[in-house]
C-alpha cells in the first residue's frame, strides 16, 4: 500500500516508516519539523535504501493535503503529527486543540474528499486517566485528566462519529502505552527538544553525561517498590503494530480500537537498574515529590491486538534499553550534530 505518514520525521513516525517500507509498502511524509529533524528522514532513506517523498508543512493545511492527495495515490494515512507534552498542554490548551483536534478534522475532511478511507490514529493510554485496575482493556472507562489527553480522546470520538456517518471510513485507533528504545542500527531514535519530559530519554542523557542525575517523581506509590509502574514498549514493536493494523484492517471500514503495549508493568527503579546494567554507566538519582497528574500504575491488556491483528510485542526490556543506549551513545546530541 501507498501510505501517507503525518509526522513521519518524528520519533515514532520515522520508526514506522522503516517498518512499513520493510513490510513492502511505500510511504510519503508530511512534517513541519516543529518537533522533529529532517536528518531523521535522511537516515530512514539510508537504512531502507530508498527515497521518501517529503512535504514540509502543517498537516492542518487543507491546500497542502489536497496537493499530496492529488500527487499521490494514497491508500491509507497514519497520523502521528501533533503536540504531545502533558505539562505544556496545561499551559497552552489552545495550541493543543489546534494542533491535535482541528488539524485532525481537516485531515479527515480532506481524506473524505479525496476518497481516501483508512486512517490510523496515534492515540495514547493517557485517555484512560487513572485506571480503576490494571491491566487496562480497551473497554475500560476513558477520562483524560489534561488537555493533551482530552485532545486525543476528542479525535478518537470524531473518528468514531465519522465511521457512523460515512460507511466507507475506516477508523483505526491505536492507544500507545510508553514507547521507548530505538532502531537496532543506532541511526535513529528519540531526540526530545530541551529537557526530556519522559523517563527513558532522561535516563539516557544521564548515562551519556548530559544530565547529572535523575529525579524520580515519587517513591511512595502503592507499587512493588514505591515508584511509578508503566508499560514500556519497544518503538520497533509499536511500529510493526501499525503495519499489521493497516494490513489486517484495510478495506474493513468501521471503528477499531487497540492497546499497543506489552502487558508487563515496569517500575522506574526497574528501568534505572536495567539501564545501569546494560550501559555499564552509573545512573545517579534522587527520589523527589510526585509529579502532578501521574498515576501509580498503567499497563495494558494486549490481548485484543493479539487476537484481531495477530500482533504482539516481542522485544524485551533489555532490547529496549540496549537500543536506547546505542542511539544515545552514538548520537549524544541527537540529530543536531548532523
Residues tagged active-site: 148
DSSP state of 98: I
Q: Which residues, 229 to 258, sit near ligand WQD by CB under 6 A?
A: 230
State yes or no: residue 193 binds ligand WQD (CB under 6 A): no
- SS3 call for 332: coil
Q: How far apart are CA 199 and CA 202, in angstroms?
A: 5
State yes or no: residue 325 binds ligand WQD (CB under 6 A): no
- SS3 call for 187: coil
Span of 32-40, 91-99, 137-145, 212-220 interacting with ligand WQD by CB under 6 A: 212-220
State yes or no: residue 215 binds ligand WQD (CB under 6 A): yes
**CA 97, 98, 104, 105 torsion-angle sign:** positive
Q: Which CB sits closer to ligand WQD, 164 or 288?
A: 288
Q: Which CB sits closer to ligand WQD, 268 or 322?
A: 268
Taking the complex as a whole, the smallest distance from the CB of residue 185 to ligand WQD amounts, in Å, to 24
**# residues contacting ligand WQD (CB under 6 A):** 19
Residue with cell 497528574: 293
Vertex 300: Cα angle to 141 and 59 (nearest 5) = 80
State yes or no: residue 216 binds ligand WQD (CB under 6 A): yes
What torsion do the CA atoms of 149, 29, 242, 129 make, to the nearest 10 degrees?
0
Q: Which CB sits closer to ligand WQD, 10 or 334?
A: 10
State yes or no: residue 303 binds ligand WQD (CB under 6 A): no
Which helix (H) or strand (E) covers residue 68, if one does?
helix 62-71
Q: How far apart are CA 158 and CA 156, in angstroms?
A: 6
Contacts of 164 (CB under 8 A, 6+ apart): none
Closest by CA to 17, choosing from 32, 31, 3, 37, is 3
- Is the distance from CB of 270 to CB of 134 less than 8 angstroms? no
Taking the complex as a whole, the smallest distance from the CB of residue 283 to ligand WQD amounts, in Å, to 11
Q: What phi, psi does 91 have (nearest 5°)?
A: -75, -35
Q: How far apart are CA 204 and CA 211, in angstroms?
A: 9
State yes or no: residue 86 binds ligand WQD (CB under 6 A): yes
Among 135, 228, 241, 261, binds ligand WQD (CB under 6 A): 228
State yes or no: residue 84 binds ligand WQD (CB under 6 A): yes
Among 202, 258, 299, 325, binds ligand WQD (CB under 6 A): 202
Among 26, 67, 112, 197, binds ligand WQD (CB under 6 A): 197
State yes or no: residue 185 binds ligand WQD (CB under 6 A): no
State yes or no: residue 223 binds ligand WQD (CB under 6 A): no
Interface positions with ligand WQD (CB under 6 A): 84, 86, 124, 126, 176, 178, 197-199, 202, 214-217, 228, 230, 268, 291, 294
Amino acid at each position: 500500500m501507498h501510505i501517507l505518514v503525518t509526522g513521519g520525521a518524528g520519533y515514532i513516525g520515522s520508526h514506522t516508516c522503516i517498518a512499513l517500507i520493510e513490510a513492502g509498502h511505500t510511504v510519503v511524509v508530511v512534517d513541519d519539523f516543529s518537533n522533529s529533524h529532517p536528518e531523521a528522514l535522511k537516515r530512514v532513506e539510508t537504512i531502507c535504501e530508498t527515497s521518501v517523498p517529503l512535504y514540509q508543512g502543517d498537516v492542518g493545511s487543507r491546500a497542502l493535503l489536497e496537493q499530496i492527495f492529488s500527487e499521490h495515490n494514497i491508500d491509507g494515512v497514519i497520523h502521528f503529527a501533533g503536540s504531545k507534552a502533558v505539562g505544556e498542554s496545561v499551559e497552552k490548551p489552545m495550541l493543543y486543540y489546534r494542533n491535535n483536534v482541528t488539524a485532525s478534522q481537516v485531515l479527515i475532511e480532506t481524506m473524505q474528499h479525496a476518497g481516501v478511507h483508512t486512517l490510523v490514529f496515534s492515540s495514547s493510554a493517557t485517555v484512560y486517566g487513572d485506571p480503576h485496575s490494571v491491566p487496562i482493556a480497551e473497554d475500560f472507562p476513558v477520562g483524560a485528566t489534561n488537555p493533551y489527553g482530552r485532545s486525543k480522546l476528542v479525535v478518537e470520538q470524531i473518528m468514531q462519529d465519522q465511521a457512523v456517518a460515512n460507511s466507507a471510513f475506516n477508523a483505526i485507533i491505536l492507544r500507545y502505552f510508553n514507547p521507548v528504545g530505538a532502531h537496532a542500527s543506532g541511526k535513529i531514535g528519540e531526540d526530545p527538544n530541551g529537557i526530556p519530559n519522559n523517563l527513558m530519554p532522561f535516563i539516557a542523557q544521564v548515562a551519556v553525561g548530559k544530565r547529572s542525575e535523575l529525579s524520580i517523581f515519587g517513591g511512595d506509590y502503592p507499587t512493588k517498590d514505591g515508584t511509578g509502574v508503566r508499560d514500556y514498549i519497544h518503538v520497533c514493536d509499536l511500529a510493526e503494530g501499525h503495519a499489521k493494523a493497516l494490513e489486517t484492517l484495510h478495506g474493513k471500514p468501521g471503528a477499531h480500537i487497540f492497546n499497543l503495549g506489552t502487558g508487563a508493568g515496569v517500575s522506574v527503579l526497574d528501568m534505572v537498574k536495567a539501564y545501569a546494567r546494560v550501559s555499564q554507566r552509573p545512573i545517579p538519582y534522587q527520589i523527589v515529590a510526585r509529579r502532578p497528574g501521574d498515576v501509580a500504575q498503567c499497563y495494558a491488556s494486549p490481548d485484543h491486538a493479539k487476537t484481531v491483528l495477530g500482533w504482539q510485542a516481542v522485544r524485551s526490556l533489555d532490547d529496549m534499553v540496549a537500543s536506547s543506549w546505542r542511539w544515545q551513545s552514538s548520537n549524544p546530541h541527537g540529530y543536531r550534530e548532523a
